[in-house]
């Protein structure tokens, strides 16, 4: 740890007479570029950090300054707290923005940043620690009457007692890592004879991922929706919600398509859930931005799931429908400024959808793909936004999360947004690595998504159909094109009239797979 006594509190804001002027972004790629954009608009200088693998990355080029912090492996660079803080101090920063992932919800990092005289752009270390544990946060919510999924803590209990508790809750049950997230340390158990082995497996995975083997069990809600509320709380006791995001389209418990508003919520239910979300933050003494996540069942019941103490990947759809720059709002709150609005001032306009563009193979169980981006063509148009950490020539490395970019669309209504997103995905060309674009088009064109009937197990239950959907469509279009060509040739119209129908544009973008073949994305 750096010498906090030596550094003192040189960057501590006294009142409002010293605002943040220089920020180190303790992250990389897309979210780093996103934060840089808001900082530039606010006249704030930015310092990027980078590993060996990211020496030529877009976020490094976009920042005012850049600091090399280590080898490509994350634990030797982006996850090394002392290196990150040292880079912030030595580059003369006032504050650190953690982005999402990496150290963003690490309360120890949060505390070290503050101890070294820097402002942490996020909640207090105490609130982060409280919300970071599913067991402690769950206990707090129960104490304050906030609905949670029925469940029990099982740490240090005998196997017979755990089995008894599981029978009491009722199968299926869900085993969850107390310190985890992203689906790690999570197992669904449908029968009693699977229980103990599943717990042992979840404990091992949790220890490997989070350094803790504490797990708990709760009732598994079949086919729920995942609905979250964006919260903003200043340091003066003011709390608002900025409405909900529907995040039910997930693979391996990780969201890939999000939208707002949710098709499941009525006006009254939205207000009720929003007030509960605000209460969650109030009882946790939470400030800055955060997201309160709920499970929503088929009967209209909702249950507190967790609080994400950071900016969310899907925050742009909230920005598009409210007109509020959430990163700027984070910085303003860190500057000890009061919220510039009250709950009644906030409203949503239109509908927004976000698709996460991953370097992965949607047709092969989402296996990560790596390589050089040989060509990038981004979609453009009114209501189309592309938050990216890549450019032509960028490397999609094996060392980090495979997210490349986020495609966001905004329109007057949901169906217009859905069609706009499909068109935008088709015009998003990324050559050199496999991407999830093709698979997301299949999701958006599914009957379930069209009707708004989405749920967290949608992909798991429909994977084979979704995987083959675009391939089948390509084959049918190819046959139709061949038939049309032969018909035109017989009529002495050798040139195919693409102005009437262009199947290649309809199929969207393409990638070169080998010297002799091409494959639709």
Per-residue pLDDT band at 497 (split at 50, 70, 90): very low
- Helical spans, DSSP H, in 42-174: 58-62, 81-90, 107-115, 125-132, 134-143, 159-169
Give tens-digit pLDDT for 18-43. Answer: 799 999 999 999 999 999 999 999 99
330-375 pLDDT per residue, tens: 999 999 999 999 999 999 999 999 999 999 998 888 999 999 999 9
Q: What is the pLDDT of residues 273-296, one digit of tens each?
A: 999 999 999 999 999 999 999 999
* Residue-wise pLDDT tens digits, 135-182: 789 899 999 999 999 888 898 889 999 999 999 999 999 998 887 666
CA distance 290 to 270: 17
Question: Any idea which of 170-179, 217-226, 454-463, 494-503 has the lowest mean pLDDT?
Answer: 494-503
Work out the average pLDDT over 123-137: 91
pLDDT reported for residue 490: 52
Average pLDDT (498-521) is 43
Contact (CB, 8 A) for 394 and 372: yes
| Band (515; pLDDT cuts 50, 70, 90) | very low
Task: Specify the pLDDT at position 487.
Answer: 52
Chain position carrying tokens 């990947």: 313
Q: 354 has which bridge partners?
A: 258, 408
- Rounded Cα gap, residues 375 and 133, in angstroms: 42
Q: What would the DSSP string read from start to end of 51-73?
A: EGGGTT-HHHHHSSEEEEEE-SS
Q: Which residue has the higher pLDDT, 185 or 505?
A: 185
Percent of the chain residues past pLDDT 70, beyond the cut: 86
Q: Is the Cβ–Cβ distance between 39 and 93 less than 8 Å?
A: no
Number of Cβ within 10 Å of residue 156's Cβ equals 7
Which domains occur in the chain, in start order? 21-120 (3.40.50.20), 150-219 (3.30.1490.20), 225-471 (3.30.470.20)
Is 519 one of the catalytic residues?
no
d(CA 80, CA 102): 10
Give the span between the Cα atoms of 86 and 151, in whole angstroms. 42
Determine contact, residues 68/76, Cβ cutoff 8 Å.
no
Q: What is the pLDDT of residues 55-75, one digit of tens each?
A: 999 999 999 999 999 999 999
What is the rounded distance in angstroms from the CA atom of residue 96 to the CA atom of residue 376? 31
Please tell me the least confidently modeled range out of 204-208, 303-307, 316-320, 439-443. Answer: 204-208
| 499 pLDDT tier (thresholds 50, 70, 90) | very low
Cα dihedral 38→44→47→48 (10° resolution): 10
Q: What is the predicted pLDDT for the residue at 17?
A: 52
Angle of CA points 297, 298, 302, to nearest 5° = 30
* CA–CA separation, 191 and 173 (whole Å): 9
Contact predicate 225/244, CB 8 Å = no
pLDDT of residue 253: 83
For residue 269, what pLDDT is reported? 97
Residue 403 pairs in a beta bridge with 358
- Quote the pLDDT of residue 470: 60
Q: Environment class of residue 412 by beta-carbon count within 10 Å: exposed (0-12), middle (13-18) or buried (19+)?
A: exposed
DSSP line for 253-315 = TEEEEEEES-TT--HHHHHHHHHHHHHHHHHTT--EEEEEEEEE-TTS-EEEEEEE-S--TTH
Residue 66, phi then psi, degrees to nearest 5:
-145, 145
Of the pLDDT bands very low, low, confident and very high (cuts 50, 70, 90), residue 469 is confident
CA–CA distance, 293 with 385 (Å, rounded to integer): 25
pLDDT at residue 364 in the model: 87
- Mean residue pLDDT across the chain: 88
**Number of neighbours of residue 267 by Cβ within 10 angstroms:** 8
Predicted confidence at residue 514, as pLDDT, reads: 37
**Token duo for residue 110:** 């949060």
**Higher local confidence (pLDDT), 258 or 496:** 258
pLDDT higher at 242 or 132 = 242
Q: Find the catalytic residue in 310, 385, 418, 470.
A: 310
How far apart are alpha carbons 244 and 401 in whole angstroms? 25
**Tokens 């996850």 belong to residue:** 79
* Sign of CA pseudo-dihedral 245, 251, 254, 257: negative
Q: Is 357 in a helix, a strand, or coil?
A: strand
Gap between the Cα atoms of 452 and 486, Å rounded: 41
Q: Looking at residue 386, what is its pLDDT?
A: 98
């Amino acid at each position: 740890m750096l010498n906090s006594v030596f550094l003192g509190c040189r960057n501590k804001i006294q009142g409002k007479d010293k605002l943040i002027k220089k920020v180190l972004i303790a992250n990389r790629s897309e979210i780093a570029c996103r934060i840089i954009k808001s900082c530039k608009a606010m006249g704030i200088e930015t310092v990027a950090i980078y590993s060996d693998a990211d020496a030529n990355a877009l976020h490094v080029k976009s920042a005012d300054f850049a600091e090399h912090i280590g080898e490509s492996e994350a634990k030797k660079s982006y996850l090394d707290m002392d290196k990150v803080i040292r880079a912030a101090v030595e580059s003369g920063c006032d504050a650190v923005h953690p982005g999402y992932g990496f150290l963003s919800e690490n309360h120890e990092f949060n505390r070290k940043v503050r101890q070294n005289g820097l402002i942490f752009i996020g909640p207090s270390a105490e609130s982060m620690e409280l919300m970071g544990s599913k067991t402690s946060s769950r206990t707090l919510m129960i104490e304050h009457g906030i609905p949670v999924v029925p469940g029990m803590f099982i740490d240090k209990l005998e196997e017979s007692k755990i089995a008894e508790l599981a029978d009491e809750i009722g199968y299926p049950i869900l085993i969850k890592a107390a310190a985890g997230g992203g689906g790690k340390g999570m197992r669904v158990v449908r029968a009693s004879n699977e229980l103990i082995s599943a717990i042992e497996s979840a404990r091992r995975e949790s220890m490997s991922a989070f350094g803790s083997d504490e797990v708990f069990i709760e009732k598994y809600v079949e086919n729920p929706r995942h609905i979250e509320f964006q919260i903003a709380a200043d340091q003066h006791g003011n709390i608002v919600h900025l409405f909900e995001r529907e995040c039910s389209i997930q693979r391996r418990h990780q969201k890939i398509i999000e939208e707002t508003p949710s098709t499941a919520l009525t006006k009254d239910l939205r207000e009720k859930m929003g007030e509960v979300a605000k209460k969650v933050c109030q009882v946790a003494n939470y400030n800055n931005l955060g997201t309160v996540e709920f499970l929503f069942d088929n009967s209209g019941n909702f249950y507190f799931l967790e609080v994400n103490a950071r900016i969310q990947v899907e925050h742009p759809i909230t920005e598009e429908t409210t007109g509020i720059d959430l990163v700027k709002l984070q910085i303003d709150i860190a500057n000890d400024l009061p919220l510039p609005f009250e709950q009644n001032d906030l409203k949503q306009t239109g509908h927004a959808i976000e698709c996460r563009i991953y370097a992965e193979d949607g047709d092969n169980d989402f296996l990560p793909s790596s390589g050089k981006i040989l060509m990038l063509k981004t979609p453009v148009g009114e209501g189309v936004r592309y938050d990216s950490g890549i450019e032509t020539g960028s490397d999609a490395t094996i060392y980090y999360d495979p997210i490349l970019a986020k495609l966001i669309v905004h329109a007057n209504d949901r169906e217009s947004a859905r069609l706009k997103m499909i068109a935008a995905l088709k015009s998003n060309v990324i050559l050199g690595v496999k991407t999830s674009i093709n698979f997301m088009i299949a999701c958006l064109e599914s009957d379930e998504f069209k009707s708004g009937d989405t749920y967290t197990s949608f992909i798991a239950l429909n994977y084979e159909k979704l995987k083959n959907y675009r391939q089948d469509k390509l084959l049918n279009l190819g046959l139709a094109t061949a038939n049309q060509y032969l018909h035109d040739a017989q009529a002495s119209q050798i040139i195919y009239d693409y102005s009437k129908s262009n199947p290649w544009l309809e199929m969207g973008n393409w990638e070169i797979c080998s010297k002799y073949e091409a494959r639709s994305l």
